[in-house]
Amino acid sequence: MSYWGQVGLLDPKTDVAESLVMYNDGVLVVIASVLILVGWFLLVILSHNMFFKGMWDQSIEGHQALEVCWTVAPSVVLVFLGLDSLKNLYNMEVGSSVAFSVEAVGHQWYWEYVYIIESKSWYKEVFDHYCFWCSFLLNENTFSSGWKSNYSLIYTGLWGLSSSELAWSLLELYCPSVCAIRHESYMVPDSMLDNKSFGVSSRLVSVTKPCFLFLGEKNEIKVSTADVMHSWGVPEFGVKIDAVPGRLNCVKVIPRTPGFSVGVCYELCGAGHSAMPIVCFVSNRDTVLGYFKKNVVEMMGVEKFRECFSPINT
């Protein structure tokens, strides 16, 4: 996390970010060495009267070995810097074995996050917590009043099952095995920082809902846009990827430190460009999935179940 008056780079929270920080330090060492060496030669040439007191040997017109050295040495340095840069680019590739996939869609001027999650086991847990549906299904008055026409045939075919098996069979047919959970992430205004921000309560940084990521696992961020160009970047993760209309760009994030990480939109996308902060919440798998389960399944899934399977009046 950044702090007021910070001069250096942010603390890296991924291996990619650490490699980029080390690469930056190495390049700075090379640049400083070149500047010192070239500046020293330039100072000596321009001030030779003071340094050599008129004893400058002007008979030397060339030195083949010296010219080869100052041509080859910078080339070798550039080759090593290029190889290190290519290695970093290769490490940024997503590859296989993705544990969690998040789609970040840029809008003017907010971010939308979409999570694709296997949810069948969630609904099974919800079913176990709401066992009163078994007694609800066994009520003869409920059966006599009739079900919605879409499920009348299913009920007839499952008549021979027990009450719990019947209830779960109906629920299993209704519930998808994979669900898409989406939410918008807006910047919280200054007047609402105390009660509307999630985790980070700072001006121009707080958002209504962050981007959730797994700790210590490969997270794939799919960045796209619904209007103009945007750019999704978090310095502590060492990632910055453009959201180009008509394209889907991907980047991986393997966080090794839990907590909140902050980024911004790095592409000038209009008048509200400064109102598109990025906040990522990193925690273990159980915590992240538990948040989704609590706020999506128990609050929405059961209500949809009740609405879809409620008896109709005849």
pLDDT digits (tens, 9 = 90+) for 246-293: 899 999 999 998 988 888 888 888 888 888 899 999 999 888 888 887
203 shares its domain with 217:
yes
Which pLDDT score is estimated for 149?
39
126 shares its domain with 204:
no
- Is the predicted pLDDT of residue 305 greater than 70, yes or no? no
Which range of 7-16, 190-199, 232-241 scores highest in mean pLDDT? It is 232-241
- Is the predicted pLDDT of residue 121 greater than 50, yes or no? yes
76 shares its domain with 35:
yes
268 shares its domain with 150:
no
Q: In sequence order, what are the residues at sequence separation of 6 or more whose Cβ sits closer than 8 angstroms to the Cβ of residue 131?
A: none
Q: In sequence order, what are the residues at sequence separation of 6 or more whose Cβ sits closer than 8 angstroms to the Cβ of residue 30?
A: 77, 81
302 in any annotated domain: yes
1 in any annotated domain: no
Provide the residue range defining the domain that includes 37. 15-91
- Pairwise CA distance, residues 111 & 103, whole Å: 10
Kindly tell me the sign of the dihedral angle through the C-alpha atoms of 105, 206, 296, 293: positive
Q: Which residues of 295-311 are buried (b: 16+ CB within 10 A; e: fewer)?
A: ebbeeebbeebeeebee
150 shares its domain with 213:
no
Can you tell me which residue has the tokens 């299993």? 172
Q: Which one-letter amino acid corresponds to residue 108?
A: Q
213 shares its domain with 110:
yes
247 in any annotated domain: yes
314 in any annotated domain: no
pLDDT band at 118 (very low <50, low <70, confident <90, very high): confident
10 in any annotated domain: no
More confident residue, 62 or 125: 62
Sheet with 230-234: strands ordered across: 211-214, 278-283, 259-265, 230-234, 239-243
211 shares its domain with 154:
no
- Is the predicted pLDDT of residue 125 greater than 50, yes or no? yes
How many structural domains does the chain have? 3
pLDDT digits (tens, 9 = 90+) for 131-190: 444 444 444 444 444 443 344 434 444 444 444 555 555 555 556 666 778 888 888 887
Which pLDDT score is estimated for 54?
62
107 shares its domain with 143:
no
| Domain of residue 86, CATH code | 1.10.287
pLDDT digits (tens, 9 = 90+) for 22-61: 999 999 999 999 999 989 888 887 877 777 666 666 666 7
Which pLDDT score is estimated for 290?
81
Q: Tell me the pLDDT of the chain averaged across its residues.
A: 76
Which pLDDT score is estimated for 2?
65
303 in any annotated domain: yes
Question: Which residue pairs, CB below 8 angstroms and at least 24 apart, start in 207-211?
Answer: 207/111, 207/277, 207/278, 207/279, 208/184, 209/113, 209/183, 209/184, 209/185, 210/185, 210/260, 210/279, 210/280, 210/281, 211/102, 211/104, 211/111, 211/113, 211/185, 211/278, 211/279, 211/280, 211/281
29 shares its domain with 84:
yes
83 in any annotated domain: yes
222 shares its domain with 258:
yes
- Pairwise CA distance, residues 97 & 219, whole Å: 10
Q: What does residue 235 show for φ and ψ, rounded to 5 degrees? A: -60, -35
More confident residue, 189 or 228: 228
pLDDT digits (tens, 9 = 90+) for 238-251: 999 999 998 999 99
Answer yes or no: are the C-beta atoms of 119 and 178 closer than 8 Å. yes
Which pLDDT score is estimated for 128?
56
Q: In sequence order, what are the residues at sequence separation of 6 or more whose Cβ sits closer than 8 angstroms to the Cβ of residue 304?
A: none
pLDDT band at 202 (very low <50, low <70, confident <90, very high): confident
188 shares its domain with 59:
no
User: Of the ranges 92-96, 189-193, 240-244, which one carries the lowest mean pLDDT score?
Assistant: 189-193
More confident residue, 194 or 170: 194
Which pLDDT score is estimated for 82?
92
- Mean pLDDT along residues 92-100: 86
Answer yes or no: are the C-beta atoms of 232 and 243 closer than 8 Å. yes
Which pLDDT score is estimated for 141?
45
Which pLDDT score is estimated for 10?
83
7 in any annotated domain: no
pLDDT digits (tens, 9 = 90+) for 46-56: 877 777 666 66
106 shares its domain with 198:
yes
